[in-house]
Copies of this chain bind each other. A is one copy, B any other.
Amino acid sequence: MFSDTPAIGKSNAALHPAAAKRVSIKDIARLARVSHSTVSRALRESPLVNPETAEKIRRIASDRGFRASAVARSLATNRTNTIGVVVTSIDDPFVAEVVKGIEDEAILHDYSVFLANCHADPEREMKVVHSFEDRRVDGIVVTASRVGALYAPVLERMHIPIVLLNNQHPSQFAHSILIDNFEGSRQAVAHLVSLGHRRIAYIGDRFGHGSDSERFSGYRAALDEADILFQPDLVVHGDGKAEGGRHAMEKLLATRPHCTAVFCYNDMTAIGAYKTIRAHGLTVPRHLSLVGFDDLPLGLYMDPPLTTVRQPKQDMGRMAMQALLKLIAGTGAEQNLRVAGELMIRQSTAAPLEHASQENQTCHYSSAPKPGRRRK
């Protein structure tokens, strides 16, 4: 009541005129002639404070551009309103879309997201997870292809809610969001069957890697439903990337009789297949139908645009965040959420060439132009 000069709280406040001391809640309190408690309440819209003084306080705070420190608040409340997102690499288009969904949902609930790449490097994974622990994030989303079995115990010890997205090993201590690989690929292959294809190949990921086995099962199921005999030589493996798709496609083109359609583990694999197919002077979908999985933006710009199974990546990101929010709130969230893919039929799939021509001259394109020849 007796302090009429609101100017200086710290005696040396004027020492560094450049590094203007940030205005704190106490400064606002002094200006409004109330205690900092009241200011705190006013700004948090507590009903415990007189509407008039609350309004006055808010005006002063706004005038001075005061913004309460989230770090101090976090220390007091033991909540940071912050989550951590671990990804293999943000420049993976799949991951990027997921993260977008997460962040969009997060900001809606006044959460901020820490982003960290781990590059599938165990050491880096540890560092990242520890940094999240240090920062006391309220939750974590992991969008790595595999949850490091290495650092699983670390995660467990932390007692921080965790949601895994499309993770290889949904573990017991974490919740997870998963695309329905089986049903997605079953539909994809069924689509090929409905077009009239009987010799349908599958280019997988590295064996047993990722969701390869589930997608393979879907492939098998679709064949069974159509009473098509499964032929082991129509299954080859790539690496989930374009390069692997290229090589795998080479292998397929080397086996006789040719397949008329190829279902690829994912879009990148299909992209690689395109390249090999073109190099052999063949065209999609005339000679060969192609289906991918993921629905990367990339597929839209292929020639022709790629038929694929769409993963609702952004939605999945949002769902992950929502699950996390439930876990944080203590409301039970579903342990494992399966989300449905959607078959996007574009121009890379069509009916196979006439059966007649296929019978006698399966080699009509076997005299391929020298693949090695390249215009410089």
Contacts and interface: CB of A to CB of B under 8 A. Distances in A.
Interface string A361-376: 0000000000000010
Nearest to A158: B65
A301 B303 contact: no
Given A128-B107, A301-B298, A113 B114 contact: yes
Nearest to A99: B90
Contacts of A117: 100, 103-104, 107
B107 A112 contact: no
Contacts of A275: 301, 303
Contact of A112 (B65, B67, B74, B114): B114
Interface residues of A, number: 56
Contacts of A128: 107
A301 B275 CA distance: 8
Interface in A350-365: 350
A301 B301 CA distance: 9
Nearest to A301: B271
Number of copies: 2
Given A271-B301, A298-B301, A303-B303, A136 B103 contact: no
Most buried by B among A80, A90, A104, A124: A90
Contact of A115 (B97, B113, B157, B314): B113
B104 A100 contact: no
A133 B65 CA distance: 11
Interface string A96-109: 11011001100100
A242 interface: yes
A71 interface: yes
A96 to B, nearest CB: 4
Contacts of A124: 107
Contacts of A20: 159
Contacts of A133: 67
A374 to B, nearest CB: 8
Contacts of A336: none
Contacts of A115: 99, 103, 113-115
B91 A112 contact: no
A134 interface: yes
Interface in A77-111: 80, 82, 89-91, 93, 96-97, 99-100, 103-104, 107, 110
A68 B135 CA distance: 9
A302 interface: yes
A103 B74 CA distance: 24
A203 interface: no
Contacts of A112: 114, 116, 131, 135
Interface of A: 19-20, 65, 67-72, 74-75, 80, 82, 89-91, 93, 96-97, 99-100, 103-104, 107, 110, 112-117, 124, 127-128, 130-131, 133-136, 157, 159, 242, 271, 274-275, 278, 297-298, 301-303, 314, 347, 350, 375
